Amino acid sequence: MTRRLRAMVAGIATAALLLVGLVAPAGSATAADNTGSSSLSSIGLKVSYSMDDVVTGNRPRVARASFTFDHPRSTLSLRGLRSSSAYIVGPGSRSAQRVHLVKDSEHRAHADFLLDASDPAGTYYLAIEINTTVDGQAYTIFKDRGLKFSVKRATTATASSKRSGSKTVVSGSVTRSQAVDYQTAVATRPFARVKVKLYFDPQGAQGARYKATVTTGSDGRYRKTLTYPGKGRWIAKYAGSSQYAPSGVRTAGAREPAVKRTYITSDTALGTKVTMKVVSQNVVAGSRGKKMRVDVSFATSGPGSLVTSDLHTVCATSRIGHYDWYCSDLVRDSATRLHADFWFGPSDPASVYDLEVWGDLWVRASGERDSVEPRMAQTGSFRVTKSTRTTVRLSDASVRKGATVKVKGTLAKPSATDANNGQGWRPTRGQSVKIYFDPKGSAKAAYRGTVRVSSKGTFSKNFRVTRSGTWIVKYPGSDAVHLRASSAKVSMSVR
């Protein structure tokens, strides 16, 4: 990435202060603010762009900006002095993203941004930099605030009822997607002290009717006693706010891109093609940390030679938590090969990381020197997953036949233990473990049930026992929160 481009990105972020789902529900109209246009009359180019409002959830999803080009030429270049780019800038200092435009046809292109509920909610702006070449001359269209769109977080409201004579007790909860664990993960949490409207939909064609408004408690739950209205269905609705979407509005958008271990890109200057290859590896981080190496290499074809003396740094950025500028110096292995080492430990977020190579490349040919810029931003990606630790024990390891035994244990992950990034093991709340029993003898282990891990990282379930054997607890892992599988077992004798 050139110094000029880095300064431009920094200027946008300062001016505006910045892979589950992101676009507005199907059928919703795009507001006027969600569209924009720019033009360059000297070459007869008009660019129109649009982006739907976004509702973020727990899993990273792709929000797309769409571009339409109106021009008289048979072909359209999206590269002048550099690749065409789009930026989104929102509230706070960590809500900026820059991606290159992808050409779909001579008149259409798109730019995809990855968002989840760790991104700040509020009003965002889309900035564009369109670079094109006409008759060998480079032209640029730049617009700081091309359009604006909103980002809100997903919510869910539930309702159930229990009749008691002429009365019915309606209860339920409201939850929201939000960043947790010191901004290193995203999860569903109770939504406290918000108003919920209750509707009743009787059997038949009358439709739902408003009955009452309630407020959730500190645990995100509510309870209301009302007159029994007959058979039908209760519906709870949260109306939403400037930060949160109404309940029932689902996240959408494409899934996050597959992790690329090898990324290859190229560019040409002075008739010389320069190809850059970036190789990274997935990482499993435990309580002691793990090293990951990024290899960067170059190859040239053509009359010129490559000068790489100004290539100096590789930066990795987490898509969850947005730990920007996690960088490592490049070490030269040969004239065309370099590498950088990264360490990932308990305090680093488990997520997909995007790589960016920093520095300037130059080609020299016939006494001339010119810059060459293969796509330096998002030059590959890798995934950091966390190991987990499962423990299991019994309420009694020696029991009588027909008695009840409690299978209990814990599930933990290496993580930051406080806001100062102290390292250790923390409860892995909200995940589920599967329990199996392997009876003594030739019979195979049989599935006995699933139990959810509490906020303290513990789980328990009672079983009636008739045979000696081994209890096995398995955590299958989770792609959504980037956790590895683990298991534990304990023996039991029945007398």
Q: Are residues 377 and 434 in the same domain?
A: no
CATH number of the domain that residue 462 is part of: 2.60.40.730
Residue 63 lies in a domain: yes
Q: Are residues 17 and 55 in the same domain?
A: yes
- Report the SS3 class of residue 4: helix
Count the Cβ atoms, other than its own, within 10 Å of residue 310.
Answer: 13
Q: Are residues 123 and 185 in the same domain?
A: no
Q: Are residues 316 and 374 in the same domain?
A: yes
Q: Which residues pair with 150 in a beta bridge?
A: 123
User: What's the pLDDT score for residue 205?
Assistant: 67
CATH number of the domain that residue 188 is part of: 2.60.40
Distance CA 379, CA 102 (A): 15
Q: How far is CA 153 from CA 50, 179, 188, 480, in A?
A: 21, 10, 11, 17
- Report the SS3 class of residue 43: helix
- How deeply is 490 buried, as exposed, middle or buried, from its count of CB atoms within 10 A (0-12, 13-18, 19+)? middle
Q: How far is CA 85 from CA 2, 88, 144, 269, 358, in A?
A: 14, 10, 12, 20, 17
283: CB partners within 8 A, 6+ apart = 290, 292, 344, 382, 383, 384, 385
CATH number of the domain that residue 347 is part of: 2.60.40.1930
> Token digits for 265?
């890109």
User: What's the pLDDT score for residue 2?
Assistant: 38
Which letter, b or e, does each residue of 8-29 get, where b requires 16 or more Cβ atoms within 10 Å of its Cβ? bbeebbeebebbbbbbbeeeee
Residue 248 lies in a domain: no
Q: Are residues 284 and 414 in the same domain?
A: no
Which letter, b or e, does each residue of 316-352 get, where b requires 16 or more Cβ atoms within 10 Å of its Cβ? bbbbbbbbeeebbebeeeeeeebbbebebbbbbbbbb
Distance CA 296, CA 329 (A): 12
244: CB partners within 8 A, 6+ apart = 121, 152, 153, 154, 155, 176, 191, 238
> Token digits for 191?
């939504």
- How deeply is 480 buried, as exposed, middle or buried, from its count of CB atoms within 10 A (0-12, 13-18, 19+)? middle
DSSP conformation letters of 370-412: EEE----TT--EEEEEE--EEEEEES-SEE-TT-EEEEEEEEE
Domain that holds residue 211: 155-237
Q: Are residues 19 and 53 in the same domain?
A: yes
* Residue pair 373/357 in contact by the 8 Å Cβ criterion: no
Q: Cα 411 from chain centroid?
A: 23
Q: Within 13 Å, how many C-alpha atoms sit on residue 374's CB side?
A: 27
Q: Are residues 263 and 303 in the same domain?
A: yes
Residue 242 lies in a domain: no
Count the Cβ atoms, other than its own, within 10 Å of residue 376.
Answer: 24
Residue 129 lies in a domain: yes
Largest CA distance in the chain: 95
- Report the SS3 class of residue 70: strand
DSSP conformation letters of 157-216: E--EEEEETTEEEEEEEEEEEEEETTTTEEEEEE--S-EEEEEEEESSSS--EEEEEEE-
Q: Are residues 314 and 369 in the same domain?
A: yes
For residue 294, give the nearest of 310, 311, 309 by alpha carbon: 311
> Token digits for 49?
């762009």
Q: Are residues 149 and 175 in the same domain?
A: no
Q: What is the DSSP letter of 23?
A: B
Number of domains in the chain: 4
Q: Which residues pair with 170 in a beta bridge?
A: 161, 224
Residue 135 lies in a domain: yes
437: CB partners within 8 A, 6+ apart = 445, 446, 448, 463, 469, 470, 471, 472
Q: What's the alpha-carbon Rg for the chain, to the nearest Å?
A: 28
Count the Cβ atoms, other than its own, within 10 Å of residue 100.
Answer: 19
Q: Are residues 27 and 144 in the same domain?
A: yes
pLDDT in tens, the chain (495 residues): 333 334 344 343 333 323 233 444 433 434 458 999 999 999 999 999 999 999 999 888 889 999 999 999 888 888 887 788 899 998 875 567 888 888 899 999 999 888 888 888 999 999 999 999 998 899 999 999 999 999 999 999 999 999 999 999 999 999 999 988 777 778 889 999 999 999 999 976 678 999 999 999 999 999 999 999 999 999 999 999 999 999 989 898 888 777 778 988 888 888 898 899 999 999 998 887 889 999 999 898 989 888 876 789 999 988 776 555 689 999 999 988 999 999 988 878 888 888 889 888 889 988 888 888 777 767 888 888 999 999 999 999 999 999 999 999 999 998 766 655 566 788 888 899 999 999 998 889 999 999 999 989 999 999 999 999 999 999 999 887 789 999 999 999 998
Residue 263 lies in a domain: yes
Domain stops at, among 135, 153, 171: 153
Q: Which residues pair with 471 in a beta bridge?
A: 437, 490
216: CB partners within 8 A, 6+ apart = 173, 174, 190, 191, 192, 193, 194, 196, 222
Q: Are residues 25 and 117 in the same domain?
A: yes
Q: Computed from CA positions of residues 291, 264, 86, 36, in that sequence, does the dihedral angle turn out positive or negative?
A: negative
Residue 249 lies in a domain: no
Instruction: Flag whether the pTM goes above 0.75.
Output: no
Residue 189 lies in a domain: yes
Q: Computed from CA positions of residues 372, 378, 381, 385, in that sequence, does the dihedral angle turn out positive or negative?
A: positive
Tokens 């700040």: give the residue. Answer: 120
